[in-house]
Amino acid sequence: MSRFALPAACLVAATVAVARPPEPPATLDAEAASPGVWRVAVLTAPHPLLTPAFRDRLRRDLLAALPAAAHPVATVEVLDLADVPRPQWDPLWQQAEAKGLAALDGPRDLNGVTTSVLRVDFRDGAYQLEARLHDGFAGLAAPPVRRQSVRAPELVGRAAGLLVGRDFGPVGTVEPVDGNPDAATIRFRAGTAGPLDRLVKVGDVFAVSRVTKTSRPAPPQKRSATGKLIEPPPGSVPPPALSAAPRENTYLRVTEPPKDGVAACAVFSPYKVAFPKDGSVAGYRCLKLATVRSPVAVRLVNPAADATKDPPTRAATVRATDQGFLPGAPSPRDFFDFADGVYKSPRALDGLACVTVTLGATREARFPVPVFGPEPVGLPFAVNAKDEEKAAYERAVLAVSARAADARLAQNAGFDRIGALIKGQRNPEALASARAAYASAEAAAAEVGDQVQTLRGRPDKPAGADELLVSVERQIAAIRESNQQLGARVKDLEKVIEAENSPAAVGRQVQAQALNVRIGTLIQGGEIDEAITAYDQLLTLVGNNPEVTARRDRLAEEWKTKSEEHSKGREYLLQTWPKAATASDLKDSLPRVRSAVDVLKSVGDRHALRRFARHLAGVPTRVEELARVLENNPAELNALRETAGVLARLDQEIADFLRKGG
């Protein structure tokens, strides 16, 4: 038996649907004929022994060793980051250097590239290697950080190749089997490019990610048969970017050898519907895990409590098999031993441990756990009923907050789309887009508002619940306030369309009206450089118009930075801070964000603050994604909630400042 029901007291996945215009279900491109790119980024620490000649030899050794491991699903690139100008560094490389390889867990838009980061240092008389993989097709990071020490320099390349290669494996798109929730198939990326027998075997375990559409444009991802990036045609509109987050505690295990690039699998998930589809879900993808046969150890973690004050319980009973969650009486050899706060299996388990935790006669929870070795794995199992209720309530509020944030991001994307359509002189389409965005935002605000009232009306709310709900209500207010601006754009565009259809219409006058609408849209989004350019275009249409010239010059003057401190503060908020990807990144950024906002407020830089507020609108969505990653780490999860609260209050502070005219 591969699927099971998980009690709400153990893992609660609370989602709240935001009303959206009807649209056909999104589908993911499996890229069955397209090879991926496996990029190995080598980070070397400053040391006299890590010379350019050493790094070049290491790069050549990796290029010699890895292509065979990747064939036929990917081509291999090896980058010595010491030779790459820092302005060209991918944010993932920057985070790996600054925060360590744990930073690869952070959510990010899919770019289709599999990246292995290899860190090389020399300490204690040996070359110290660390490696970890992040897959940009499935949006998942390989769980373990691989480490190895090598004393002989001539052996570093071989050891690095073996270390990096352990986690590389095929990725694919998950296709549920109609009528059988226990089964699914994987359609592999580049699965038709060659045989997969060497790369995929019966019993292999795959982690699953949920892929969602965003309001951001996607980077180019189409590649040739050799992995070369194919640039889109000039002027084409990029599709929405895709983002991915792990589908918690959901795994696939291969049950039949792959055929024609497709493999049959068993589904292991705590959810009644393992792969739900709604308007925000584009589909599901998966990454092969480098599991092993090993004894298993688990630590039970109360997800709502302070682990330092709430020690692990030994009152629970833990057992596991690697054959699934079997019916009937368990075998005595399946039960774990308890020592030093950890439950340990008496025997080795292969690939995927199906762990059952019971407490008394009524409490039972089941967890599929990939086997990577004997190190303890934390499992969320709350013992205190009040803590369980609090955790469930907070997850529900986080979900509602994320839906409100999605609505704000969609609204912002609507402004951008309207401006782009006007720029392309597609005014009727701009009007239709504006009306649709307005209606969608109104419906979303109403729906989320209803959900807030439902949560507010629950009896015995945990402490701090009202503050969380007030934060969501602020987002609803922001949606409605922006919708007033959107409604004004609708009326302006209606006048433009009316003028276009008038027999007496003059082309230049209609273009000027449309440009005025676009300028208002750009200013509303804080895109001042583009607004100034649009003013220049308007002046070429209307000639030396004193009123238009004065408006343009006033805007340009407002946009000028007043000091070096002002320039650095604006650059940090608009360019550097949006790249923060992990919970620690967000927390560490708070003092700098606070200082930069104060500087912008002191000089009255309303435009940059308005643009920064658009970035803040996405924080709740990022927090919800990061909260899933930190589910088993109560201390970091609480710190993330505190960070989110600070940023929510800052969002409201900026909104108040802008509302009062700065």
**Res. 16 pLDDT band, cuts 50 70 90:** very low
108 and 72 in a common domain: yes
Task: Look at residue 125 and tell me whether its pLDDT is greater than 80.
Answer: yes
40 and 76 in a common domain: yes
Tell me which residue has tokens 């389409």: 429
164-168, 216-220, 443-447: segment of lowest average pLDDT: 216-220
Has residue 323 been placed in a domain? yes
**Res. 7 pLDDT band, cuts 50 70 90:** very low
Q: Tens digit of pLDDT for each residue in 435-491?
A: 888 888 888 888 888 888 888 877 666 666 677 788 788 888 888 888 888 888 788
Has residue 278 been placed in a domain? no
pLDDT of residue 321: 95
328 and 378 in a common domain: yes
637 and 539 in a common domain: no
pTM above 0.95, yes or no: no
pLDDT of residue 485: 80
- How far is the C-alpha of 103 from the C-alpha of 340, rounded, in Å? 29
| More reliable by pLDDT, 127 or 520 | 127
**Mean confidence (pLDDT) of the chain:** 82
Rank 80-94, 268-282, 391-405, 457-471 by mean pLDDT and report only the highest.
Answer: 80-94
Q: State mean pLDDT over 614-630.
A: 75
Q: Tens digit of pLDDT for each residue in 49-76?
A: 999 999 999 999 999 999 999 999 999 9
659 and 607 in a common domain: yes
626 and 543 in a common domain: no
Final residue in a domain of this structure, among 552, 577, 607: 552
Task: Look at residue 276 and tell me whether its pLDDT is greater than 90.
Answer: no
Q: State mean pLDDT over 495-503.
A: 71
**Res. 2 pLDDT band, cuts 50 70 90:** very low
**Res. 6 pLDDT band, cuts 50 70 90:** very low
430 and 362 in a common domain: no
Give a three-class secondary structure readout of 276-295.
CCCCCEEEEEEEECCCCEEC
1-15, 508-522, 615-629: segment of lowest average pLDDT: 1-15
> Among 360, 357, 510, 518, which Cα is nearest to 430's?
518
Has residue 52 been placed in a domain? yes
Final residue in a domain of this structure, among 138, 165, 192: 165
User: H or E segment at 575?
Assistant: none
Has residue 590 been placed in a domain? yes
Task: Look at residue 26 and tell me whether its pLDDT is greater than 60.
Answer: no
DSSP alpha helix (H) spans, 457-527: 465-500, 507-524
451 and 311 in a common domain: no
206-210, 213-217, 274-278: segment of lowest average pLDDT: 213-217
397 and 375 in a common domain: no
- How far is the C-alpha of 412 from the C-alpha of 419, rounded, in Å? 11
Q: State mean pLDDT over 584-604.
A: 91
Has residue 259 been placed in a domain? no
C-beta separation of 32 from 192 below 8 A:
yes
**Res. 91 pLDDT band, cuts 50 70 90:** confident
101-115, 147-161, 536-550: segment of lowest average pLDDT: 536-550
DSSP alpha helix (H) spans, 125-240: 156-165
**Res. 540 pLDDT band, cuts 50 70 90:** confident
pLDDT of residue 427: 77
592 and 535 in a common domain: no
> Among 291, 264, 265, 33, which Cα is nearest to 143's?
291
Has residue 403 been placed in a domain? yes
**Res. 180 pLDDT band, cuts 50 70 90:** very high
Q: Which two tokens stand for residue 268?
A: 């292991």
Task: Look at residue 536 and tell me whether its pLDDT is greater than 70.
Answer: yes
Task: Look at residue 493 and tell me whether its pLDDT is greater than 70.
Answer: yes
26-35, 302-311, 478-487: segment of lowest average pLDDT: 302-311
Tell me which residue has tokens 């529900």: 396
**Res. 515 pLDDT band, cuts 50 70 90:** confident
Cα 656 to Cα 185, 271, 340, 652, distances in angstroms: 51, 42, 52, 6
Has residue 660 been placed in a domain? yes
pLDDT of residue 343: 94
Q: State mean pLDDT over 239-245.
A: 82
Tally of domains in the chain = 4
Task: Look at residue 181 and tell me whether its pLDDT is greater than 60.
Answer: yes
Final residue in a domain of this structure, among 494, 523, 552: 552
118-132, 220-234, 261-275: segment of lowest average pLDDT: 220-234
Q: Tens digit of pLDDT for each residue in 348-386?
A: 999 999 999 887 655 788 999 999 999 999 988 866 556
Range of 89's domain?
A: 36-165
Task: Look at residue 198 and tell me whether its pLDDT is greater than 90.
Answer: yes
pLDDT of residue 573: 92
Other C-beta atoms closer than 10 Å to the C-beta of 48 total 6
Task: Look at residue 24 and tell me whether its pLDDT is greater than 90.
Answer: no
Task: Look at residue 655 and tell me whether its pLDDT is greater than 80.
Answer: yes
Reduce the DSSP state of residue 3 to 3 states and report it.
strand
Other C-beta atoms closer than 10 Å to the C-beta of 623 total 22
Has residue 451 been placed in a domain? yes
| More reliable by pLDDT, 156 or 281 | 156
537 and 397 in a common domain: yes
Helix %, strand %, coil % of the chain (to 5): 45, 20, 35
Q: What is the DSSP string of 374-409?
A: SSEEEEE----HHHHHHHHHHHHHHHHHHHHHHHHH
Q: Tens digit of pLDDT for each residue in 400-428?
A: 877 777 777 777 777 778 877 877 778 78
C-beta separation of 351 from 203 below 8 A:
yes
- How far is the C-alpha of 629 from the C-alpha of 491, rounded, in Å? 44
400 and 542 in a common domain: yes
Q: What is the CATH number of the domain that holds 303?
A: 2.60.40
Q: What is the CATH number of the domain that holds 80?
A: 3.40.50
Q: State mean pLDDT over 97-110.
A: 84
Task: Look at residue 10 and tell me whether its pLDDT is greater than 50.
Answer: no
